[in-house]
Structure 1
Amino acid sequence: MPLPMSPLDSMFLLGESREHPMHVGGVEIFQLPEGADTYDMRAMLDRALADGDGIVTPRLAKRAHRSFSTLGQWSWETVHDIDLGHHIRHDALPAPGGEAELMALCSRLHGSLLDRSRPLWEMHLIEGLSDGRFAVYTKIHHAVADGVTAMKMLRSALSENSEDRDVPAPWQPRGPRPQRTPSKAFSLSGLAGSTFRAARDTVGEVAGLVPALAGTVSRAFRDQGGPLALSAPKTPFNVPITGARQFAAQSWPLERLRLVAKLSDTTINDVVLAMSSGALRSYLEDQNALPAEPLIAMVPVSLKSQREASNGNNIGVLMCNLGTHLPDPADRLDTIRTSMREGKEAYETMSATQILAMSALGAAPIGASMLFGHNSRVRPPFNLIISNVPGPSSPLYWNGARLDAIYPLSVPVDGQGLNITCTSNDDIISFGVTGCRSAVPDLKSIPARLGHELRALERAVGI
């Protein structure tokens, strides 16, 4: 029986089209264990396919479904006999098998739609890398998992023990296999009841949101950091997009960013934003398209107050002034630090529910552009999303193969044709830059620009 789908998940399905694929992805690059070769790698995957019996982790067994029984609304339907041969695929890079060939393949794979008649995910084993390593590209529909959840899913399939040879495949459930029990039926009355309870519990929160909203709008008018931005300058990547994607990636030792943050009294996330700011400034200058006003980035952040510590981390979004109008990298970093600090201060007086509501308001233009298209006659509320997803500091392995890097791929949408996401593992930070091929034609130059900006920041703090 169908299970209800949240309105947010439904939005990612409703907003999807050939020009707007709505999946997130990740590229993992592995070093084979000593003495192993690509034949061992293929045999390892073939064994996992043969032993799986078509059973996958519950999240990956869901298929999007709508019919008369769901009154035309999207819902989830559990698939019990999954054709792993469709979801798990082999790819080989053409010669010479370098980074350019890997990025080109991932760009092409990321631009194609997932099959809605099946669970919304794919995994591609990629061989032919010139240095003897292999890669795994995974894509999951945003209705199934957001970028952070997808990264956690990929990491959960790995082990910290290099000698462990019984690690389940990424699609397989951990522990005992799930029982095939009947699903809870979709119930309009049950959905209505849960909606009423949620509304009842949040009436007080909404009342408290009014003064918070007034303060937030006031901060936006004064160009201070917060969850809202009234407008951002137009750039070449704030345009309607096509379905063709372009992807590029690069990694650096996390210690380099950590040292810049320490010497400048900033955070690693501030340094990530400053690297992005410098790269964007350089890119737009070369395109003769650098605005006189600073670019604005929407930044997902983890916020935790002592008052709500028992509830774990609260996730919100902030609008960050990237200072791209400033020629000095130190000035850009200082502008970013101030903007992020002011934004977090704006959240300190809000509850978790109010933070969520305010963040939803700030992110609302994304949903509007997904459903109704980009209005080129108005200025964008922000220019791009920049995310940083911290990961484990210890090495990770899959059946002895060491994870060297994990590069995230995100979802460009109309009006937001460029996205920068980074994640870390084993004290390495990896940037993934995803964009619309027509909106960001020279996207492959951005990783080199990020590296140049990191060196500029190191010089600015005296390294």
Structure 2
Amino acid sequence: MTLRKMPLLDAASLQLEGKNMPMHVAALMTFSYPTSLTDQERKTFVSSLTARWREETRVVYPWNQVLTRPTRWQLRPATREVYDLDLEYHLRQWSLPAPGGEKELGHMIAWIHELPMDLEKPLWECHFIEGLSDNRFALYVKIHHALVDGISGTRLVVGSLSTDADSLSTPMWAKAQAEIGSGGAKEPDRGTLPSLSDLKAGFAASLKLRTKNETLTTFRSTPETILNGPIGPHRRVATQHFELARLKTLAKTTGATVNDVVLAIVGGALREYLIEANALPEDSLTAALPVSTRKSGDISIGNQVSLLFGSLGTNIADPALRLEHVKRSTHAGKAMLNELPAHAVNVYSLLSTGPFLSSVVLGIGRTGRQLFNTTVSNVPGQREARYLNGAELLHVYPVSLIMPGIPLNFTCVSHGDFLNFGMVACRERVPHMQRLAVGMVDALDELERNIHQR
């Protein structure tokens, strides 16, 4: 029996697991039925696919990993391999009520997503969902954050789909490593321990986040809002997507990055949401911005991520000026991170957020002033078409997690010609979630008009 000790970042994701904070991440994929199907074949397509997948007996890393001890209370968790899956548990099938639109899909995904995973089983689930409008069905896959980060999880799930519309699909848990692009699902590199100079550099950078700074967004920049506070066990989920070409055109015109444009759109949507609630703070909301620390060509599975912190410009009415403000904020954050030696980045990440994460583990991180107001993450995707038994993948919506005090998360991933957003929130703290999804559309339209008029 092969035992695998979890790296520190992976272990932290397990240790943070709590009743109101399940630590899994997910991908919601929508597909269009193959046009060649008859009406009867379309009605049985998902059921037939589910039945065939449940007959698959092969299972590879990381789908075959189960905890040696099914508890969060362990310093160095380990996993072992299993080869006999209960596929009636891991693979499920649902049907949406009419009319099968985005609202009904969001309600179902919120319900599935809020359910914690069974730590005695391999830490993943797949859910087929039929009954969507516009000749579509969905596949929702959730995996515990202790096994994957956003980049490796997206690659693992989307990469398992076929690039050939005529080929039969193989379940993702049975995909041989060589089949998932560039070598497949590999175990994480344990890396090297940081040196004394790395520790000093990481410590010095983490101290900067605890002081007021005119250019750098720090924890002292974060205002109190009605959004931040204790979270409950229930979730809201909403989705939105934009044409990548629109965002790239804006970025090129303004000298910004696509990420900057994304932050300005999120800031615009949050500004209008809080104005409507008569609760807009004088200072701008801030966001944690996860960034990958993977080296070029690294395709391992696991968590390799650090954090920047940026301002969303919610206190700025003019959308063009808001974008300029966001640019300055992210530039300062990137400059600080880029100055760090490579092995000091993880030190900085652990020291900067360690006290907050420790308070969450101990159950005391629910109240008080928060380090940041929300999380905005952009996960790289791919442009090529993907298929599931001839059904074309339309959109991939990431469905992430929230933490005590930080009850709202925006995550986006690109696929084909679109950038797709998944928004997750605490049901009690963030009402009318769909208004944020619509507000992002309005914020992008307003930004485009403002830039074109200058």
Tell me if both proteins adopt one fold, taking TM over 0.5 as the criterion: yes
SS at match of 1:102: helix
CA deviations on 1:213-271 (whole Å, 9 max, x unpaired) are 56x358x5224236x53351111221110110110001111111111111111010000
Deviates more, 1:362-371 or 1:285-294: 362-371
Partner of 1:449: 439
| Percent identical | 33
Contact (CA 8 Å) 2:70, 2:120: kept in 1 or not?
no
Give the Cα separation in 2 of the matches to 1:238 and 1:396: 38
Give the Cα separation in 1 of the matches to 2:70 and 2:384: 47
One-letter amino acid matched to 1:333: L
Partner of 1:341: 331
Partner of 2:277: 287
Partner of 1:206: 199
Cα distance, 1:456 vs. partner? 0.7
Partner of 1:21: 22
The correspondence of residues 212-223 of structure 1 with structure 2, limited to 5 A, is 212=205, 216-217=208-209, 220-223=211-214
TM-score scaled by length of structure 1: 0.87
Partner of 1:58: 61
* Cα 1:96–1:370 shift into 2, 3 Å: same
The correspondence of residues 85-234 of structure 1 with structure 2, limited to 5 A, is 85-163=88-166, 165-174=167-176, 198-199=192-193, 202-209=195-202, 212=205, 216-217=208-209, 220-225=211-216, 228-234=218-224
Measured on the aligned residues, the alpha-carbon RMSD in Å equals 2.8
TM-score scaled by length of structure 2: 0.88
Contact (CA 8 Å) 1:394, 1:427: kept in 2 or not?
no
* Cα 1:10–1:171 shift into 2, 3 Å: same
Cα distance, 1:96 vs. partner? 1.6
SS at match of 1:166: coil
Deviates more, 1:351-360 or 1:167-176: 167-176
* Cα 1:71–1:438 shift into 2, 3 Å: closer
From 372, 386, 390, the counterpart of 1:382? 372
* Cα 1:126–1:294 shift into 2, 3 Å: same
SS at match of 2:146: coil
Contact (CA 8 Å) 1:28, 1:135: kept in 2 or not?
yes
Partner of 1:459: 449
Deviates more, 1:201-210 or 1:90-99: 201-210
Cα distance, 1:115 vs. partner? 1.3
Cα distance, 1:397 vs. partner? 1.4
Segments of structure 1 that go 5 or more residues without pairing to the other structure are 178-193
Contact (CA 8 Å) 1:240, 1:373: kept in 2 or not?
no
Cα distance, 1:340 vs. partner? 0.7
Give the Cα separation in 2 of the matches to 1:11 and 1:161: 38
CA deviations on 1:97-153 (whole Å, 9 max, x unpaired) are 111111110000001111112111110000011222110011111112222222111
Partner of 1:10: 11
Contact (CA 8 Å) 2:212, 2:221: kept in 1 or not?
no
SS at match of 2:216: coil
More helix by share: 1
From 24, 36, 52, the counterpart of 1:47? 52
* Cα 1:222–1:71 shift into 2, 3 Å: closer
Partner of 1:271: 261
Deviates more, 1:14-23 or 1:359-368: 359-368
Cα distance, 1:73 vs. partner? 5.2
* Cα 1:339–1:303 shift into 2, 3 Å: farther
Contact (CA 8 Å) 2:360, 2:366: kept in 1 or not?
no
Aligned residues between the structures: 435
Cα distance, 1:198 vs. partner? 4.3
Give the Cα separation in 2 of the matches to 1:382 and 1:19: 19
Contact (CA 8 Å) 1:63, 1:79: kept in 2 or not?
yes
Contact (CA 8 Å) 2:356, 2:365: kept in 1 or not?
no
Deviates more, 1:374-383 or 1:452-461: 374-383
One-letter amino acid matched to 1:120: L
One-letter amino acid matched to 1:17: G
SS at match of 2:195: helix
One-letter amino acid matched to 1:46: A
From 76, 83, 86, the counterpart of 2:86? 83
Segments of structure 2 that go 5 or more residues without pairing to the other structure are 180-188
Give the Cα separation in 1 of the matches to 2:204 and 2:119: 43
One-letter amino acid matched to 2:404: D
One-letter amino acid matched to 1:45: T
Partner of 1:351: 341
One-letter amino acid matched to 1:372: L
Contact (CA 8 Å) 1:66, 1:74: kept in 2 or not?
yes
Give the Cα separation in 1 of the matches to 2:222 and 2:403: 16
Deviates more, 1:354-363 or 1:19-28: 354-363
Give the Cα separation in 1 of the matches to 2:24 and 2:70: 23
SS at match of 1:421: strand
The correspondence of residues 388-403 of structure 1 with structure 2, limited to 5 A, is 388-403=378-393
Matched, 1:332 2:330: no
One-letter amino acid matched to 1:424: S
One-letter amino acid matched to 2:175: P
One-letter amino acid matched to 2:156: M
Contact (CA 8 Å) 1:168, 1:174: kept in 2 or not?
no
One-letter amino acid matched to 1:144: L
